Chains A and B, each alone.
Chain A
Amino acid sequence: MNNRIFKLAVIIGLISCLAITGCNSKDDYVTERALYKINKLAKKVAQNPKATPPAQVEKVIGLYKKFIKKYEGSDLTLNAHIAIAGIYASKEDYNEARKYYEYMQGLYKDKPAVLAEIAFFVGNTYELEKNWNRAVVEYKKIMQSYPFTKKSMEMPWYIIGHYKKIKDDKGASDSYEMALGHFRKLREEHPNAMNALFAGNFVIRILSEQARWQDVIGAIDKLNAEKFKKFVKGDELLFAKATIYRDKLNDNVNARVYFEELISKYPESKGIKEAKEALSKLSQQEEANTKAETQIGIEANVE
């Protein structure tokens, strides 16, 4: 019996050792836990920045700096840097926040995606100061300087959103044009980059929102479907074009052309049933129109 208990204890001991020794003191988990603890303190500062004593603010910033030093090389140090600048911003010390962002730009000069994020935060500080014009300058800089980042793709929408929110139609319309220009440029200058596909899609979205359907057709044609066939389905493009011609441009002739092309080129397409139904409806409509025209012709002759 004692022997069995001993064996069980050895097995449990081995499992525990395996689990504990496998946990490097600087693994991601430990880093995440350390940052979480500081974030929790920072949350209290952010909840009531004005009432928080400066010593408390300094303490939290100090903890972040210690964290950055201790876990140098971890991706999470970026979060700590952002949090430090965020604390300055929450205290309405925008100059200090921007100074810190500038310092961060030096640290991450080889990482465009991070630089774009930092630039966005800089723009945010101007927005918080109610200086929208200066903020827009910063946001446009992101589009120009880091065109292939996610942030750059988001910026035009952010700017449009701002004007829509304050119900500034002129501002929104100008921003749409600016966005169109930005995305068209991206699409044309780097046709083989993945972001060109996103840019092309955004062009279609903007033109659709403005109900510029003929331009939408043109923009669909400019999608590099051959290059991005993994993401862009040829049959779906044909279907979209056909429905735009039918529903938006009242051009049944072209609609028929694209439905027929879809059926002949992509017999396995999911939209085949719908395309066939659409074609049959178009035929019925044409027949009815012809009958009506003939009737009108007969009546005219009689008169």
Chain B
Amino acid sequence: MTEESSQNKPTIFSIWANTYRRIVDNPVVILPFCIIVFIELLALAVLYFFPREPIKSILGPVIEQFFTNGKMYMHYPANFLLMPKLLYWARVVISIVFGSLAIGVSGHLFNLIRQKKPAHLSFGIKVGFKKYISIAVIQIFLYFLYNFVQNSITVVIGKYFVKSGNKAFLGLSANIWQGPILFSIDVILGIIIQLFFIYMYMDVLFGKAGFFKSMLNGIILSFRLFFRTFMLLLVPTLVYLPLAIIIYNLGTVMDRFFPEITMLILAVNVILGSLILDPCIILSCAESYLSKEKS
């Protein structure tokens, strides 16, 4: 089915099937993501020690400065409540510094595999370094945009309830708005932002246009392949959702089991996110982009 489907107009399922087959036949394509997972797990291990010396001396003042009730988080077990946030920021830095290279390497290897050419890691690294700055700029732009929009929504909801003294909106209480609804908005926001910008990476990697033209091409293609791309992003995100809900309710989980369970949850989060979700999204969108002519 897969070989045939690649000759016909691509469907969501054929894209997934082809991506899966190429990964299984050539696992080298996800090697860059494995390295990212390793770096992220290392960061998680270092963060585990943030309330203790000598890391406390370095991170302590930063945490106290940037987080509300920062001092509280320097103590057990509250330190674990801060771990998801710290890990998030560590992953932002890692994904900009190393992830940009990983996307470039993996994407190029994927293209070579698709063209049935030999996919040596060294070829991928060469191209990865060439495209590094462009991809890193897109990464920074996306993180900035996501955080800006997310913070704006949080502030607007917060102001509506705190400053105005309103107790409900559309019949739902402040707790529901600032809890599950805000969480859902964050998830949808993540998908929407990726939806409009995912093909930028692909055009930078595989296209021949300049950087800004690639950005424009990426957005245009997102509109053209709207539904397909939406599904390519939504389904893996839905798989990830249960874990996101567990992390969102970390306090309850910690209380029910033991605080250190946070480390296990976050390690699974790193593995699921960077080893399964990211390759799945990036490579399936690469497949989608590369087969766009047939669409």
Chain A contact residues, CB within 8 Å of chain B: 12, 15-16, 18-20, 22-24, 27-29, 32-33, 36
Nearest-neighbor residue (CB-CB) of A37 within chain B: B258
Nearest-neighbor residue (CB-CB) of B53 within chain A: A22
User: For chain B, what secondary structure do more than half of its interface residues adopt (helix, strand, loop), or is it mixed?
Assistant: loop
Which of B54, B76, B77, B259 is close to A22, meaning CB atoms less than 8 Å apart? B54
Interface-side segment among B42-50, B108-116, B165-173, B215-223: B42-50
Q: Tell me, in angstroms, the Cα distance from A23 to B53 when the chains sit together.
A: 6
| Residues of chain A lying within 8 A (CB to CB) of residue B130 | none
Contact B46 A22 (CB under 8 A): no
Query: If the complex has contacts A22-B53, A27-B52, are A32 and B76 also in contact, measured as CB distance less than 8 A?
Result: yes
| Residues of chain B lying within 8 A (CB to CB) of residue A22 | 49, 52-55
Query: If the complex has contacts A33-B76, A36-B76, A36-B259, are A27 and B42 also in contact, measured as CB distance less than 8 A?
Result: no
| Residues of chain B lying within 8 A (CB to CB) of residue A23 | 49, 52-53
Which of A16, A27, A28, A29 is close to B45, meaning CB atoms less than 8 Å apart? A16
Contact A24 B46 (CB under 8 A): no
User: For chain A, what secondary structure do more than half of its interface residues adopt (helix, strand, loop), or is it mixed?
Assistant: helix
Q: Tell me, in angstroms, the Cα distance from A32 to B53 when the chains sit together.
A: 15
Q: Tell me, in angstroms, the Cα distance from A19 to B45 when the chains sit together.
A: 9
B75 at the binding interface (Cβ < 8 Å): yes
B107 at the binding interface (Cβ < 8 Å): no
Q: Could you say which interface size class chain B belongs to?
A: 10 to 19
B51 at the binding interface (Cβ < 8 Å): yes
Contact A24 B53 (CB under 8 A): yes
Interface residues of B in 203-261 (CB under 8 A from A): 259
Contact with A along B61-100 (1 / 0, CB 8 A): 0000000000000011101000000000000000000000
Contact B49 A19 (CB under 8 A): yes
Known pairs A12-B42, A19-B45. 18 more at Cβ < 8 A? A16-B45, A18-B54, A19-B49, A19-B52, A19-B54, A19-B55, A22-B55, A23-B49, A23-B53, A24-B53, A27-B52, A29-B51, A29-B52, A29-B75, A29-B79, A32-B77, A36-B76, A36-B77
- 17 of the cross-chain contacts (CB-CB < 8 Å) are A15-B42, A15-B46, A19-B49, A20-B49, A22-B53, A22-B55, A23-B52, A23-B53, A27-B53, A28-B75, A29-B51, A29-B79, A32-B75, A32-B77, A33-B77, A36-B76, A36-B259
Q: Tell me, in angstroms, the Cα distance from A15 to B55 when the chains sit together.
A: 10
Q: Tell me, in angstroms, the Cα distance from A24 to B52 when the chains sit together.
A: 8
CB distance from A72 to the nearest CB of B (A): 19
CB distance from B275 to the nearest CB of A (A): 19
| Residues of chain B lying within 8 A (CB to CB) of residue A27 | 52-53
Nearest-neighbor residue (CB-CB) of A27 within chain B: B52
| Residues of chain A lying within 8 A (CB to CB) of residue B75 | 28-29, 32
Nearest-neighbor residue (CB-CB) of A21 within chain B: B54
| Residues of chain A lying within 8 A (CB to CB) of residue B77 | 32-33, 36
